[in-house]
Chains A and B, each alone.
Chain A
Amino acid sequence: MLGYLLRRLASAAVVVVLVSIIAFAIVSVLPGDTAAALLGEEGARNSERYQLLRQELGLDQPIVVRYFTWVAHAVTGDLGQSLRTGEQIGPAILARAVPTVQLAIMALLISVVIAIPVGVISSVYYRRFPDHLGTLFALTAIATPGFWFGIMLIMLFSVTLRWLPPSGYLPFFQDPLGSLQLMFMPALALATGFTGVLIRQVRSSVLEVLNEDYITTARSKGLSPAKVLFGHALRNALLPVVTLVGLQLGALFGGAATVETVFSIPGLGRLAVDSIFFRDFTMIQALMLVLALTVLFASVLTDLVYSRIDPRIRRG
């Protein structure tokens, strides 16, 4: 176990370095630079001030030096200042993470509540009508653009029925009920793709478990189908489902960019989109780094949890 752990962490460390290089490289090739962005178009034409500011920001240094300066600061938690608002990037990202995390948790819960029953029914009625219906539902959910589904929800529940407020954000701890109400439609919109993927995962892992010998044993000793399904099959089938959450985290972040735009939620997705529009170089760089590292962390954690449960993986 220790050997596997060390190997996995060593390769993750290499990936962390590569992630930081990619994040830095993408922003370095963005047109314009930080000094020009700070001075604005007028200021950038004043070449003396522009050169002075470039020196001050260290932009006249070679790219390798700039990369190491950035990394050295990032390691201590100093991600620099936002060019757009001037706030410290670390705390700003943390503040914007709160709505996104709430949104993601609600979306995951909605997905699980829909996907587990549908997936189980699909597997129990394998290749019969309910299974086909479940599969079509799952494929449709995967094919649905979340942001479009969100727009449709606003049209139905806010514009036509006037049941729910169309958009906005309230912190959960300030007004829990109001917050849940506002976040319900965006969470549903964000949940579409994941729900579809999850239904298929639940279906296939229950099917796989139902073919195992211990299920045959459980059946042959006279347990009722319900007991076999819920007591034996489902418990073991839900394991791969847990790992799916780790693997789909990146897709959730990506979906948040459009869904948060539709519902005006001040989260990380919206922050990423705004930063790109306003050419907030330092913020884009930091966001790409932080989000990629979060996804990476989740996948390493998933691997480790999985290898703890299933020893065969460690040897691979």
Chain B
Amino acid sequence: MVEAVSSFTRPRLRINGFAVLGFGLLALLIICAAFSPWLAPYDPNAQDYRAVLQGPSAAHWLGTDHTGRDMLSRLIYGSRVALSIGFTAVGLAVLLGGLLGVVAGYARGLVDEAIMRVMDALLSFPSVLLALGIMAALGPGVNTIIIAIAIADLPMFARITRSQVLTVRERDFVVATRALGAGPARIIFRHIVPHITGPVAVMATIQVGHAILTEAALSFLGLGIQPPTASWGAMMRNGFSYMERAPWLAAFTGLAILLTVLALNLAGDVLRDWLDPRGDSRR
């Protein structure tokens, strides 16, 4: 009934439906974000008061909002905001969290205790609430939302790098290198970092999706990206207030978010599969 897990020993890239779906969607999104000006049929902020709150039509495939702006164009431009915030925030969290995790795991002792207890404390705050508080303190805007999400995500990356460092540093090849007289910097960058990039990359991919959900939630609450920037969360806020007259506004915006996060989750899963072929990918 259950295949023996050990039967997958040789690393190989299994191209399955999930891989095609995940990376296909992700590629499509990146193209949308990179080439927005060429792909969007209209200017995302061009108002047209003769075409207000129109349903999907040949002229406006996904309809128009309360000021006659083209939804498809706004969604395409919104992918820029979502992806750039997601990748930058997680990138920051990986760098800072990774650094803290490596230092904690390598130094151990009191340094490790101090760093990890602060991470535990940050992890105790519900991430949306922590981000809300930071946004309120720093004021709304793209940069603060990136900082807020990065701080909320920091502890996770610190934890995963630390635990990886703790395992790798006791492996024979690291012990041998140390015995040969290599200093900590050399050991960390030449031997430990390459070994931990896999699990961190998997987690980062999935966290980008999570960051996009958090951004959408903050902007939906009115504390994130401010209008008129075409951000998916702010568009959802607008769609919510026109829920009865123009249901397509919220519907399409949510679908865009859902497909983006799904693509990132699928990609993360497939990556894990490729990096650790012995384990079951979808645990």
Contacts and interface: CB of A to CB of B under 8 A. Distances in A.
Nearest to B268: A139
Contacts of B123: 250
Contacts of B221: 257-258, 261, 273
B126 A254 contact: yes
Interface string A68-102: 00000000000000000000000000000000000
A149 B236 CA distance: 11
Contacts of B137: 26-27, 29-31
Interface residues on A, range: 35 or more
Interface string B210-237: 0001001100111100000000000010
Interface stretch (B70-78, B88-96, B246-254): B246-254
Contacts of A132: 17-18
Interface stretch (A36-44, A178-186, A285-293, A305-313): A285-293
B121 interface: yes
Contact of B120 (A15, A31, A140, A149): A15
A293 B124 contact: yes
Contact of B124 (A204, A250, A279): A250
B223 to A, nearest CB: 7
Given A139-B269, A151-B254, A159-B243, A204 B132 contact: no
Classify the interface of chain A: helix, strand, loop or mixed: helix
Given A26-B133, A211-B2, A139 B266 contact: yes
A14 B125 CA distance: 15
Interface of A: 11, 14-15, 18-19, 21-23, 26-27, 29-31, 123-124, 126-127, 132, 135-136, 139-140, 142-145, 147-149, 151-152, 154-155, 159, 200, 203-204, 207, 210-211, 225, 250-251, 253-255, 257-258, 261-262, 272-273, 276-277, 279, 284, 287-288, 291-293, 295-296, 299
21 contacts: A19-B124, A124-B1, A126-B2, A136-B18, A139-B266, A139-B269, A140-B262, A143-B259, A148-B254, A148-B258, A151-B240, A151-B250, A152-B251, A203-B283, A207-B2, A254-B126, A272-B132, A279-B136, A287-B129, A292-B121, A292-B125
8 closest cross-chain pairs (CB), A and B: A254-B128, A148-B254, A18-B121, A204-B283, A143-B261, A143-B262, A250-B126, A253-B126
Given A148-B253, A148-B254, A295-B125, 18 more contacts: A27-B137, A139-B262, A139-B269, A143-B257, A151-B243, A152-B250, A152-B254, A159-B244, A159-B247, A211-B2, A250-B125, A255-B128, A257-B128, A257-B132, A261-B221, A273-B132, A288-B130, A288-B133
